[in-house]
Amino acid sequence: MDARIGRFEIKASNQMNRLPNQFFSGLVSRANRYIEEGYDVINLGQGNPDLPTPLHIVRSLQEAAISPLNHKYPLFSGKRKLKEAICQWYEVEHGVHLDPDDEVAILPGTKTGLVELASILLNPGDVALVPDPGYPDYWSGIALAGANMIPMPLLRENAFLPDLESIPTEQLKRGKLIYLNYPSNPTGACAPPSFFDDAIRFAEKNKMVIAHDFAYGALGFDGKKPASFLSRPGAKEVGIEFYTLSKTYNMAGWRSGFALGNKEVIRLINLLQDHYYCSLFGAVQDAAVTALTASQDCVKELVAVYESRRNSVYREMSHIGWNASLSEGTFFTWLPVPPGYTSSQFADLLLEKVQVVVAPGSGFGHNGEGYVRAGLLTSEERLREAMQRIHSLSLF
| Domain boundaries, given as residue ranges, for the chain | 22-51+298-391, 55-293
At the topology level, CATH places domain 22-51+298-391 in Aspartate Aminotransferase, domain 1 (3.90.1150)
CA proximity to 147, closest of 283, 290, 325, 15 = 15
Identify the pLDDT of residue 268.
97
**Helices assigned H by DSSP within 218-280:** 235-238, 245-248, 263-276
Q: How confident is the model at residue 17 (pLDDT cuts 50, 70, 90)?
A: confident
How confident is the model over 221-279, as pLDDT tens digits?
A: 999 999 999 999 999 999 999 999 999 999 999 999 999 999 999 999 999 999 888 88
Identify the pLDDT of residue 277.
86
Identify the pLDDT of residue 319.
93
Identify the pLDDT of residue 6.
62
For the chain, what is the mean pLDDT?
94
Identify the pLDDT of residue 149.
95
Q: Are 85 and 220 in contact (CB under 8 A)?
A: no
How confident is the model over 123-175, as pLDDT tens digits?
A: 999 999 999 999 999 999 999 999 999 999 999 999 999 999 999 988 899 99
Taking the C-alpha atoms of residue 156 and residue 11, their distance in angstroms, rounded to an integer, is: 44
Structural domain 55-293, CATH architecture: 3-Layer(aba) Sandwich (3.40)
Phi, psi of 131 (to 5 degrees): -70, 140
Is residue 186 reached through a cis peptide bond, with omega within 30 degrees of 0 on the bond before it? yes
- Model confidence at 61: pLDDT above 70: yes
DSSP assignment letter at 187: T
